[in-house]
Structure 1
Amino acid sequence: MNEPSPPVRLLIHGAAGRMGQALLRLAGERDDVDVVAAVTRSKPAQRVIDGVPHFSATELEAVPEFDVAIDFSLPQGLDPLLALCVSRGRALVSGTTGLEPEQRAALDAAAGNIPVLWASNFSLGVAILNELVARAAAALPGWDCDIVESHHVHKKDAPSGTALTLGEHARTGGAQPRYAALRAGDIIGEHTVQFTGLGERVELIHRATSRDIFARGALHAAARLRGRPPGHYRVTDLLS
């Protein structure tokens, strides 16, 4: 009988944020992952919280060995984490949006050395929505394409990374998307892709009612990214 694989050692970067807190909570419910470090922007009030060592972003080099880093932070926090993953030869899963072109290029370069999964959204529903949008755009040439997204008032980037990714898929089908962004209350995330022709309209909609879907998707991906060869990965590559 084969020995079970040891849990995947995770570093959670951006641990004080909404996604970081969800990741820490849900990781504790799984047997296939083990959080060995949580990193926050500011100095942690306690060094160990619920059995997980905490570090500030300035202490990144001091974190223990890990297999995969999961990053849901701010764009300025990604660069040092990416450098750490490359130097240690460890995989990176990132959902941080609002990246500069230079940072996207750095992710591309890193994928030559380590497994990299960057996604604007880690839900299965959105992964399928991307494919549906590309198919609809190709099937409805000449129709207007509008992408409307709504998020909570604290979200900084607009349009959202998910909206921009949906737009990229629409372009593969020949559409020219336009964007509208709403910031209101505590909306977790809603995206509508609307195709409008003469006398008719098609709407493709995804609504997230729990932030846990994104955290579960990121944990699922991280658990399956360890041991993969260097390269770029998508959420759909790691579903099974």
Structure 2
Amino acid sequence: MNQCRIGIVGCGGRMGRMLIAEIAQTEGAVVAGGTEQTATLAGQDLGTLAGLGPLGVAAGTDAAALIAASDAIIDFTVPAATVRHAELAAAAGKILVIGTTGLDAAQTRAIEAAARQAPIVWSANMSLGVNLLLGLVEQVAARLGPDYDIEIQEMHHRMKIDAPSGTALALGRAAAAGRGVPLEDVWVKSRDGHTGARAGGSIGFATLRGGDVVGDHTVMFAGLGERLELTHKAADRRIYARGAVRAALWAVGRPPGLYGMKDVLGLR
């Protein structure tokens, strides 16, 4: 089996280092390289960054050069950078796996356009458990109907920059799909002051931030006399790295298109 050369943009961050370790330990994959814009990290050996010992591959600063040297690229950076990386991957026809969240409508359209030229796997959450949860939420929302109020609560570490989380929004979209409505027509992202009674059919979000919480998500279906709660708690970020590497290997040989973890896991 030929090894898939996988590059990591943003290789010096927490997720980047976990991705290096996961790629190095995965059969059929090899670390092609990485980019890092932090001056103190650029030039360092990727294996040393990941605590593995030297791999003989240094962190660079040129994303285009990394993409040219790789079969697949994994991106857990920030929206503006992700869009640029998608454009470069599209031009080179290379696989791109995106775990970045918080993209706006224009940035989403840019990713969709890039996927017409390259295979792109994009998911708000790369874990197997969360993707199973998405399917369950859609089914429950469809079966319980509008008599049950839907509230989504999420908590992450104090450094997370977007809210609600991409996973919380994905869960909201799954619930809205179960009801056959666009999430944007029914979501309530915050409540403050005298809000009045809860609007029927709305899907509410509650966002918590603190400490080093990796990621907790609960979808509540609150009816009269009972409440059903579906919860996923992530204890280790390696589940995201593992899923991203699996997605990169799955995409080898796939035609251009925008894929998700449901495709990777055969759940669609």
Which of the numbers 16, 24, 32 marks the counterpart of 2:28?
Answer: 32
Aligned-partner Cα distance in 2 for 1:134–1:201? 16
Deviation at 1:13, TM superposition (A): 1.1
Which of the numbers 165, 175, 179 marks the counterpart of 2:205?
Answer: 179
TM-score normalised according to structure 2 size: 0.84
Deviation at 1:178, TM superposition (A): 0.7
Aligned-partner Cα distance in 2 for 1:66–1:168? 33
| Cα-Cα RMSD | 1.4
Deviation at 1:239, TM superposition (A): 2.5
Q: Which residue in 1 is equivalent to 2:183?
A: none
Deviation at 1:15, TM superposition (A): 1.1
Q: Which residue in 2 is equivalent to 1:223?
A: 249
Q: Which residue in 1 is equivalent to 2:81?
A: 77
Structure 1 unaligned segments of length 5 or more: list them. Answer: none
Which of the numbers 147, 166, 173 marks the counterpart of 1:161?
Answer: 166
Q: Contact 1:17 / 1:73 at 8 angstroms: preserved in 2?
A: no
Which of the numbers 11, 16, 21 marks the counterpart of 1:20?
Answer: 16
Deviation at 1:79, TM superposition (A): 2.1
Q: Which residue in 2 is equivalent to 1:9?
A: 5
Aligned-partner Cα distance in 2 for 1:45–1:15? 9
Q: Contact 1:14 / 1:40 at 8 angstroms: preserved in 2?
A: yes
Deviation at 1:28, TM superposition (A): 1.2
Deviation at 1:177, TM superposition (A): 1.5
Matched residue pairs, number?
Answer: 234
Deviating runs (4+, > 3 A) in structure 1? none
Q: Contact 2:99 / 2:123 at 8 angstroms: preserved in 1?
A: yes
Q: Which residue in 1 is equivalent to 2:120?
A: 116
Aligned-partner Cα distance in 2 for 1:203–1:192? 6
- Flag the structure with higher strand content: 1
Aligned-partner Cα distance in 2 for 1:150–1:186? 10
Deviation at 1:47, TM superposition (A): 4.6
Please say which structure displays the higher CA radius of gyration: 2
Q: 1:211 to 1:47 in 2, by over 3 A?
A: closer
1:26-57 CA distance string (max 9 Å, x none): 1111221111111123233435342223112x
Structure 2 unaligned segments of length 5 or more: list them. Answer: 47-53, 180-200
Q: How does 1:43-54 map to 2 (within 5 A)?
A: 43=39, 44-49=41-46, 50-51=54-55, 52-54=57-59
Aligned-partner Cα distance in 1 for 2:239–2:222? 30
Deviation at 1:123, TM superposition (A): 0.5
What secondary structure does 1:173 align onto?
helix
Q: Contact 2:95 / 2:251 at 8 angstroms: preserved in 1?
A: yes
Aligned-partner Cα distance in 1 for 2:101–2:70? 23
What secondary structure does 2:58 align onto?
strand
2:64 partner amino acid: E
Deviation at 1:225, TM superposition (A): 0.6
2:142 paired with 1:138: yes
Q: How does 1:192-211 map to 2 (within 5 A)?
A: 192-211=218-237
Identity %: 41
Which of the numbers 62, 65, 74 marks the counterpart of 2:65?
Answer: 62
What secondary structure does 2:161 align onto?
coil
What secondary structure does 1:195 align onto?
strand
TM-score normalised according to structure 1 size: 0.93
What secondary structure does 1:99 align onto?
coil
